[in-house]
A and B are shown apart, each in its own frame.
Chain A
């Protein structure tokens, strides 16, 4: 395989040499930016009108391609929501053309939810890639007025919501830990605020959102299911701007502007909830439950960039967010404080070796922390967990000739995991809880990916990624017997190898155009994932811990085969597609039956895991109206996701909790005029799979024998009921469906000041969607009669909200 890689590189090199020989070839290159703010436009299409051949800009807005011949050509650039750019020129030498594009939204207020080069869905070999425009998402209904990117992407086919009140999402039968969520290249390990009701991404600070749900190119890796790549704004380098908003949950403020005009700019964006500000006197009584239990979250995004020269530019960006929950029981004196959150920093350096070779080097720090501090009387307890990464990567984008766009690079991550660690003491007695428990690993990858336009009809994008994971000491392996009791332990010294895994990850996607408006695409993707998320509950919580692959936990191994047919109608006004996929996932984890949270203490978390495999398949249907005052889409997904674990229910196949048979999303935007925009979303999903009890029994516990002689057996109803559960996930809750609507009123601009009001109604017809089911034992002591009643808990009824946004 190694030899083959070298061969491919050589072949590519010879192509360039060939390219350089011909003196009639010249390079057109430059950056594509928003003309008014200077923000990079990522994924913009730059092409020649004559041949319709071209490239997409990279993450920094850079493009480059070679033109042949000496006739004059028309350079075109197009980007969602922007006015097309056109320039005629004679390619007699290499040209650096920086393109400034005008935002169409500002002029016409026309909202198109997703956008791109008109026929890109048909013409690109890439499958399952969607770009969303944040400005435009703002006109869709928002839950409690908070525009949330993680909620928005769940409206796409193949992307399913993990449930109400949960920002976790499932892509094509993958778990929430199988999505690679990147914020300016830094991995975000827990993307949720408020136990998952809101995502950590502040929409005001975001420039671009790209979701890849299949056919992941080789420059991404480390997760099985998808990539959600979020780029922060760079900051306006033309003029100072402020924008903000006030909603029922949080308020936001963003400031941005040039440090040195056209060369350097900054952005700072903050968001905070304010419920807790009212949870103190004079609003509530001191010492009351409301004052004792407070909750808030905040986050802060900052970024500065500086253009050192025509060829060099640096960016420094940071994210810091925390959720804090305080609790004090007036009754028992039991109190605790739970802070958790992410911090990320990225330092990036763009350098142009030549017009054809762009390189970016990043130093990234990412940290997720959860901690729980409690005390009661003389007892003190602290629980903490987290992940910290130091990450270095260099990515090259090489545009040798117009038919090739080559990406290659290298990446190294130093991980430090903290699976659940507990410290407890009482007065001076320190309990033996195994102490702070850090796990260390080195992860590395090299990759190369080429987008090759073979002919007008056929293009192919082959890629190869090699990844490795080295889990090293200090590490203690607790050895358990069949009863999960520790019988021995093995200690590994610092940097001593505990486990090493590596593998090749070939990727390929190809497109064949049947007509100009119709194409057939297929792809294969191999992924390895070396980190695993372990969850005790059926909902995603900040307590879920990340666990690295080690001597017991093998890397997750995913293979996906996908094929699709894409066709556009009526001059690209309507886009339609049908995609099918089949996916296998090896080395999946679950907690063993009966594992309890304190089993993780003074133990290797993975000793409580069982291992098995999963597979999923499905079909996604998509129809979209991409143009006009009324636009939007309908997506339908039919999917099956199963799991099989030898140690769960005797190895019977069971549906994964991600199994969702039917999933429908309808998204409509209507731009009535410059002032008013209306949005509507409707979602329907098959009910969640859950495990329910099927029979029950009574137990009395040890009897008070002497008492019995005098009193007889206690009443039967004083026994405790215990349940026997049915097959895992064999029960379906009622289907989930919900309609949301919104209206946005844009006040006409006065001088510099712009503002808008967003009115949203969540769950318009007040559907009581199931969150979970439980059984209530109602007992009548007098008659000794029990009644067992199934109860369904629903989270959110109809909720209207108003958000005010401003900009100047």
Chain B
């Protein structure tokens, strides 16, 4: 549903682009002013899993980017504390061969809990945030359907009965076993129940891809589709309103990426003293085997 609405505007944007049959482009040099660095927080608490936080800093727009220099933007010397109301724990730094992030083996995500985050940086800057784990709202059913006119390619469909309380927000991820390394959110992965409150309906998602993917099936006719033979794991999460707003704007920004149709708005954050998101989310999992109808 949400997917279609946002698609319309994407299409409208494309429209204008389609008619630009004469348009052409060239590389230019742009001088941008140097900015003060900000702290970027990614703090996640999934039901049943340990809490973890990634902390980095913003970079100048044209600063060199490769894995080595990116590591320089990761902040490794902060004190990161999470409390779930009962336990207050200082997070551990993961081993560098796994990656730069902080985790707590003691704080395990639990439905109904309130979480607070406090980060003290090396220069004594305080960053704080709060979140809450909402109960999971499961899908009714999940299935694969071949797209009209296609032989083996299709989308994953689901039926959701939205509860009759306004304000539920959802996020969808999927992973093909053996093909994808992790759960990938497709474009428009978040939606809320503004227009569907208390209703039951079917919806479909296409297959997402990791940013800048060079995988073959992300760059040929299969891009965006699941294929018969795939075993697909769907992770459907109940998220907070703050998360919904964050990811909605974030996805809109990555879709527009400049141009006259892109959004130049900042992504709304729930972090005080930095940017990013601190969120608790509650997933349910489904496995679908993509096959042709009998």
- Cβ of A16 within 8 Å of any chain B Cβ, yes or no, is no
A432's partner among B196, B202, B254 (CB-CB below 8 A) is B196
Given A593-B266, A772-B260, A777-B212, CB of A431 within 8 Å of CB of B1:
yes
We find that the number of chain B residues with CB closer than 8 angstroms to chain A is 103
A541 near B26: Cβ-Cβ < 8 Å: no
Which of A219-227, A490-498, A699-707 is the interface stretch? Answer: A699-707
A693 to B148 Cα, complex, angstroms: 41
Complex contact A781–B30 (CB within 8 A): no
Q: Are A711 and B181 in contact (CB under 8 A)?
A: yes
**A422, A692, A711, A781: the one within 8 Å of B32 (CB):** A692
| Residue on B nearest A429 in the bound complex, by CB | B201
Residues of chain A within 8 A of B201, CB atoms compared = 426, 429, 431
Of B64-72, B77-85, B114-122, B125-133, the segment with at least 4 beta carbons within 8 Å of chain A is: B64-72
Per-residue CB proximity of B128-169 to A under 8 Å, as 1/0? 000000000000000000011100000000000000000100
Among candidates A374, A728, A774, residue contacting B262 with C-beta atoms closer than 8 Å: A774
Distance in angstroms from B287 CB to nearest chain A CB is 15
Please determine whether A695 and B59 come into contact, CB atoms closer than 8 angstroms: yes
CB distance from B9 to the nearest CB of A (A): 5
Contacts A774-B259, A779-B212; is A700 near B54 (CB within 8 Å)?
Answer: yes
What CA separation (Å) do A712 and B98 show in the bound complex? Answer: 4
Partner pick for A424 among B1, B28, B257, B259, CB 8 A cutoff: B1
CA distance A728 to B263 in the complex (A): 12
- Kindly list chain A residues whose C-beta atoms are within 8 Å of the C-beta of B185: 701
Query: Which residue of chain A has the shortest Cβ distance to B185 in the bound complex?
Result: A701
A597 CB contacts on chain B under 8 angstroms: 5, 9
Contact residues of A between 784 and 808, Cβ < 8 Å to B? 784-797, 799
Closest residue of chain A to B23, judged by CB?
A795
Other-chain residue from A165, A713, A717 in contact with B212 (beta carbon distance below 8 A): A717
Chain A's closest residue to B256 (CB) is A774
Are A768 and B24 CB-contacts (below 8 A) given A539-B16, A698-B56?
A: yes
Residues of B within 8 A of A379 (CB): 1, 4
- A1 in the interface (beta carbon within 8 A): no
CB-CB under 8 A for A432 and B199, given A697-B56, A792-B26: yes
- Residues of the A chain whose Cβ atoms lie less than 8 Å from the Cβ of B149: 330, 333
Are A598 and B32 within 8 A (Cβ)?
no
Question: Which A residues touch B28, using CB under 8 A?
Answer: 734, 773, 790-792
Pick from A35-43, A96-104, A204-212, A718-726 the stretch touching chain B. Answer: A718-726
Task: Tell me the smallest distance from the CB of B205 to a CB of chain A, in Å.
Answer: 12
Chain B contacts for A295, CB-based, 8 A: 19
Does B106 touch A at the CB level, under 8 Å? no
Interface residues of B in 200-223 (CB under 8 A from A): 200-202, 204, 206, 210-212, 214, 221
Q: Are A791 and B67 in contact (CB under 8 A)?
A: no
Asked if B231 is an interface residue, CB under 8 A from chain A, the answer is no
User: A791 near B8 (CB under 8 angstroms)?
Assistant: no
Q: Closest B-chain residue to A333, C-beta based?
A: B148
Report if A353 contacts B (CB, 8 A).
Answer: no
Find chain A residues with CB under 8 A from B44 CB: 702-703
* Chain B residues, CB < 8 A from A692: 30, 32, 258
What per-residue 1/0 map shows which CB atoms of A372-387 lie under 8 Å from chain B?
1010111101010000
| A718, B214: Cα distance in complex, Å | 10
Nearest 8 Cβ contacts at the A-B interface: A713-B99, A774-B258, A786-B65, A704-B182, A594-B265, A784-B67, A779-B212, A593-B265
A binding-site residues for B, Cβ under 8 Å: 165, 194-195, 197, 293, 295, 325, 327, 330-334, 336, 338, 372, 374, 376-379, 381, 383, 422, 424, 426-427, 429, 431-433, 483, 485, 537-539, 541, 543, 593-598, 601-602, 691-705, 707-709, 711-726, 728, 731, 734, 768, 771-775, 777, 779, 781, 783-797, 799
A716-B70, A774-B262 given; 5 more Cβ-contact pairs under 8 Å:
A381-B4, A541-B16, A714-B210, A722-B267, A795-B23
Interface residues of B (CB under 8 A from A): 1-2, 4-9, 11-12, 15-16, 18-20, 22-30, 32-33, 35, 37-38, 40, 42, 44, 46, 49-50, 52, 54, 56-62, 65-67, 70-71, 73, 97-101, 147-149, 167, 173, 175, 181-183, 185, 194-197, 199-202, 204, 206, 210-212, 214, 221, 224, 241, 248-250, 252-254, 257-268, 275-276, 281
14 contacts between A and B (CB under 8 A): A197-B19, A293-B18, A374-B8, A376-B4, A426-B202, A427-B202, A697-B73, A703-B44, A703-B101, A726-B33, A734-B28, A788-B62, A790-B29, A794-B26
